């Protein structure tokens, strides 16, 4: 059930002009110009082991700073007790630290646009650290406290044994980018731990530690946006011995054929796979390591494995989880276990997964009605754009509309903006092939911060086994599509209409497929009124009552969620007033059905559930 599409078709996609592999650069318009306060964290993390070496920057000469010829205080690294960057005024403020001096990285003031270009700023231990003479071996970890935020910059931690040849041993690319599209500052303070056991030899030579800053987009070095930084603070750098038993989850994934969905319509329920990469960072080998996933009566496990010290294993749940065809929320819990008691259990936990089974909404985003479930928006300055998500289809399905949430407020979508929805198919060549679109909608105030339904011009029959891209766009400025959650690279996309290029985005736009078959149907028939269906839910049959305004021919059609016709009745010529009939539903599968009553060229559609 692995996502062959992502390794096959997207390998083609990234070679095409519109299938850029790199994400879209964050522009100055996306800059958060006021410090977004990160939560202050009391550092209660258990000590990894015995501290062999540490430095709290109270003696600045312990470090050698190279600032690419920049001499002003707010360019490059500096070591003192004050904050000299433009964005943060407090630096590292969490309790548990040493206080006093810390190291700070800045590159001018992004608000005035004076950032230096073509620079690499480094801060390196002045003397090599002899781990062996300090009583250690290769079984050590580097830890430090940090604060800051990412933009288009690259924050790296490097190591050398000779002071001239450097290898990167860590970075902050796992942190979300902070912009108007979402993201966050680092926790204050964030403790970062890098296990050096897989990097050092058994009897390691003395090492230098370096903190390095530059752009993450060297191919765009002429663009001042790639040299903006919010800043990076460092304090309390240590080398500590590794724990005896320490399994850690370095990554985990879940989804149907590789994509995860937070709202799944009944017709698109498919087996869900789970996997986790587990690293043994402790001194001891770990035996009988098992990954377990549970939800309700379902319990799936991986094969039991032994993981040697400093090795990594990928654990996959053997039997995928297929959710029941029941409307409502589904919660999945996960756990890693072994024969040993883990010294640092906090780093081998996996967050619970929660999603919903729905009637007709197919969603990749995590948005709910909760105010804090949306973060930032997709926008493109003064240029037009389209943004949306990929969707796999597991059963043939009729699609009537695309839903979107438009950001409101003073920085949100401008009332009067003209927007549209489009649907593309990912074809065999890896291209996005246009299928259909909606009529242009002029945004009104009541369209903001709500579940806006954009009806497509054509009813589209989506085919099982294919992947589709649903987007919402605008030809000019003013559109801001809400984000909710993060997405894997090359599964959510952004089309810049100025350069005609598709980029991937890792912030999930709130753009959804809507399979509700009642969309676009006239529900205000002058010929039919007072329609009721009972019992609802039903098991073997339902009664249908209606008022007929004029004596006429009346017919009934019953369809399932995919649009398939499962029953028809021609009731013939019915008299004026209340009429009744019975629909036999015993042979129907459990689920939601739509009954359309037609008379004199008008129709009314109602729903019932078979259980």
Q: Give the least confident one: 114-118, 142-146, 176-180.
A: 176-180
In this structure, are residues 546 and 569 in contact, taking their beta carbons and an 8 Å threshold? no
CATH classification number, 528-610, choose in 2.60.40.2550, 3.20.20.80, 2.60.40.1110, 3.40.30.10:
2.60.40.2550
Q: How many CA atoms lie less than 13 Å away from 531 in the CB half-sphere?
A: 21
Provide the token pair at 495.
Answer: 């089309």
Q: What is the pairing mode between strands 232-241 and 102-107? A: antiparallel
Q: Is 13 left (phi over 0), alpha (psi -120 to 50) or beta?
A: alpha
Residues of the chain with CATH 2.60.40.10: 247-358
Strands 481-486 and 507-509: what pairing?
antiparallel
Q: Averaged over 106-127, what is the pLDDT?
A: 97
The SS3 of residue 200 is coil
Is the pLDDT at 423 greater than 60, yes or no?
yes
Domain 4-20+371-514: which CATH class? mainly beta
**What's the rounded Cα separation, in Å, for the pair 94 and 98?**
10
46 phi/psi in degrees, rounded to 5: -65, 140
Mean pLDDT of the region 25-47: 70
Predicted local confidence at residue 144, as pLDDT: 96
Assess whether pLDDT exceeds 80 at residue 561: no
Residues spanned by CATH 2.60.40.2550 within the chain?
Answer: 528-610
Cα 350 → chain centroid: 16
Please give the torsion angle defined by the CA atoms of residues 100, 101, 103 and 106, in that order, rounded to the nearest 10 degrees: 100
DSSP 3-state of 129: strand
Give the largest Cα separation in the chain, rounded.
101
**Best CA proximity match to 512, nearest among 421, 385, 447:** 421
C-alpha 45/C-alpha 458 separation (Å) is 56
**Residue 481: its pLDDT value, please?**
96
Q: Are the beta carbons of 307 and 247 closer than 8 angstroms?
A: yes
Sign for the CA dihedral angle at 376, 144, 168, 346 comes to negative
CA distance 374 to 368: 8
pLDDT band at 421 (very low <50, low <70, confident <90, very high): very high
Strand-pairing partners, residue 354, are 331
What does the alpha-carbon distance between residue 348 and residue 332 come to, in Å, rounded to a whole number?
A: 16
Average pLDDT over residues 561-580: 88
Distance, in Å, from the CA atom of 145 to the CA atom of 157, rounded to the nearest integer, reads: 13
Element (H, E) at 278: strand 273-280
C-alpha to C-alpha distance for 313 and 267, rounded to whole angstroms = 35
CA distance 553 to 119: 79
Residue 372, pLDDT score: 60
* Residue 536: band (very low, low, confident or very high) from pLDDT cuts 50, 70, 90: confident
Q: Pick 149 or 537 by higher pLDDT.
A: 149
How many CB atoms within 10 Å of residue 583? 18
Task: Encode pLDDT of 200-214 as tens digits.
Answer: 999 999 999 999 999
Lowest mean pLDDT among 14-18, 216-220, 265-269: 14-18
Q: What average pLDDT does the chain have?
A: 89
Question: Is residue 175 a contact partner of residue 152, using CB atoms and an 8 Å limit?
Answer: no
**Could you tell me which of 83, 11, 40 has the C-alpha nearest to residue 233?**
83
Distance of alpha carbon 380 from alpha carbon 396, whole angstroms: 35
The pLDDT value given to residue 3: 34
| The pLDDT of residue 343 | 93
pLDDT of residue 545: 93
Q: Please, is 235 exposed, middle or buried when counting C-beta atoms within 10 Å of its C-beta (0-12, 13-18, 19+)?
A: buried
Q: Is the peptide bond prior to 295 cis by the omega test (within 30 degrees of 0)?
A: no
Which pLDDT score, from 0 to 100, does residue 96 have?
55
Q: Which residue has the higher pLDDT, 440 or 4?
A: 440
CATH number 3.40.50.300 given to 31-238: no
pLDDT tens, residue by residue, 78-98: 999 989 999 998 788 754 566
Residue 21's pLDDT band (boundaries 50, 70, 90)? very low
Report the alpha-carbon distance of residue 304 to residue 278 in Å, rounded: 12
For residue 10, give the DSSP letter. Answer: H
Residues 374 and 405: their CA atoms lie apart, in Å, by 10
CA distance 295 to 272: 12
- Enter the pTM of the model: 0.80
User: Could you report how far apart the first and last alpha carbons of the chain are, in Å?
Assistant: 30
Q: What is the number of residues in the chain?
A: 611
Run of H or E residues at 596: strand 591-599
Q: Answer whether residue 46 shows pLDDT above 60.
A: no
How many C-beta atoms surround the C-beta of residue 448 within 10 A? 19
Of 18-22, 43-47, 607-611, the range with the highest mean pLDDT is 607-611
Question: Would you say residue 244 has pLDDT above 70?
Answer: yes
Q: What is the pLDDT of residues 366-407, one digit of tens each?
A: 987 555 688 889 988 788 999 999 999 999 998 989 999 999
- pLDDT the model gives residue 5: 33
The span from the CA of 167 to the CA of 210, in Å, is 10
The C-alpha atoms of residue 403 and residue 594 are separated, in whole angstroms, by: 20
Pairing of strands 591-599, 552-560: antiparallel
Is the pLDDT confidence value at 224 over 70?
Answer: yes
CATH class belonging to 247-358: mainly beta
Place of tokens 């288009």: 152
Amino acid 19: pLDDT:
45
Residue 45 pLDDT greater than 80, yes or no: no
């Amino acid at each position: 059930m692995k996502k062959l599409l992502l390794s096959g078709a997207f390998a083609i996609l990234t070679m095409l002009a519109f299938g850029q592999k790199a994400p879209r650069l964050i522009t100055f318009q996306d800059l958060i110009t006021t410090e977004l306060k990160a939560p202050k964290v009391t550092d209660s993390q258990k000590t990894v082991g015995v501290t062999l070496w540490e430095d709290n920057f109270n003696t600045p000469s312990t470090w050698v700073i190279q600032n690419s010829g920049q001499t002003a205080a707010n360019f490059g690294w500096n070591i003192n007790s004050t904050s000299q960057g433009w964005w943060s005024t407090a630096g590292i403020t969490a309790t548990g630290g040493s206080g006093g001096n810390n190291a700070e990285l800045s590159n001018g003031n992004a608000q005035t646009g004076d950032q230096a270009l073509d620079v690499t700023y480094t801060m390196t231990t002045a003397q090599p650290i002899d781990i062996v003479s300090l009583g250690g071996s290769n079984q050590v970890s580097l830890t430090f406290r940090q604060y800051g935020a990412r933009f288009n910059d690259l924050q790296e931690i490097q190591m050398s044994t000779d002071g001239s040849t450097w290898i990167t041993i860590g970075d902050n690319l796992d942190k979300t980018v902070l912009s108007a599209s979402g993201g966050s500052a680092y926790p204050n303070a964030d403790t970062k731990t890098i296990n050096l056991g897989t990097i050092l030899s058994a009897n390691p030579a003395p090492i230098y530690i370096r903190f390095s800053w530059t752009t993450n987009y060297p191919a765009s070095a002429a663009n001042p946006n790639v040299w903006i930084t919010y800043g990076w603070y460092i304090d309390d750098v240590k080398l500590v011995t590794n724990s005896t038993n320490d399994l850690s989850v370095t990554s985990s994934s879940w989804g149907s054929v590789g994509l995860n969905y937070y709202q799944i319509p009944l017709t698109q329920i498919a087996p869900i796979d789970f996997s986790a990469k587990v690293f043994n960072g402790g001194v001891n080998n770990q035996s009988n390591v098992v990954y377990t996933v549970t939800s309700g009566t379902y319990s799936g496990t991986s094969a039991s494995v032994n993981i040697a010290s400093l090795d990594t294993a990928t654990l996959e749940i053997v039997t995928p989880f297929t959710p029941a065809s029941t409307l409502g929320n589904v919660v999945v819990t996960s756990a890693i276990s072994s024969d040993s008691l883990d010294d640092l259990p906090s780093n081998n936990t996996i967050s619970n997964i929660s999603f919903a089974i729905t009637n007709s909404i197919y969603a990749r985003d995590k948005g709910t009605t909760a105010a804090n479930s949306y973060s930032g928006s997709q926008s493109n300055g003064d240029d037009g754009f389209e943004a949306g998500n990929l969707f796999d289809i597991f059963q043939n399905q009729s699609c009537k509309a695309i839903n979107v949430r438009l950001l409101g407020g003073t920085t949100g979508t401008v009332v009067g903006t003209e927007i549209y929805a489009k649907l593309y198919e990912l074809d065999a060549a890896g291209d996005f092939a246009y299928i259909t679109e909606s009529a242009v909608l002029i945004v009104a105030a009541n369209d903001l911060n709500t579940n806006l339904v954009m009806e497509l011009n054509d009813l589209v029959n989506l085919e099982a086994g294919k992947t589709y891209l649903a987007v919402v766009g605008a030809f000019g400025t003013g559109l801001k599509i809400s984000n909710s959650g993060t997405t894997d690279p090359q599964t959510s996309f952004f089309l810049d209409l100025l350069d005609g290029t598709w980029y991937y985005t890792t912030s999930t736009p709130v753009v959804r497929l809507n399979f509700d078959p009642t969309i676009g149907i006239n529900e205000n028939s002058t010929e039919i009124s007072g329609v009721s269906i009972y019992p609802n839910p039903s098991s073997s049959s339902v009664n249908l009552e209606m008022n007929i305004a004029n004596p006429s021919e009346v017919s009934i059609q019953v369809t399932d969620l995919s649009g398939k016709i499962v029953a028809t009745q021609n009731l013939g010529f019915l008299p004026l007033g209340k009429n009744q009939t019975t629909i036999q539903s015993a042979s129907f599968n459990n689920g939601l059905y739509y009954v359309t009553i037609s008379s004199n060229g008008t129709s009314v559609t109602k729903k019932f559930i078979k259980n």
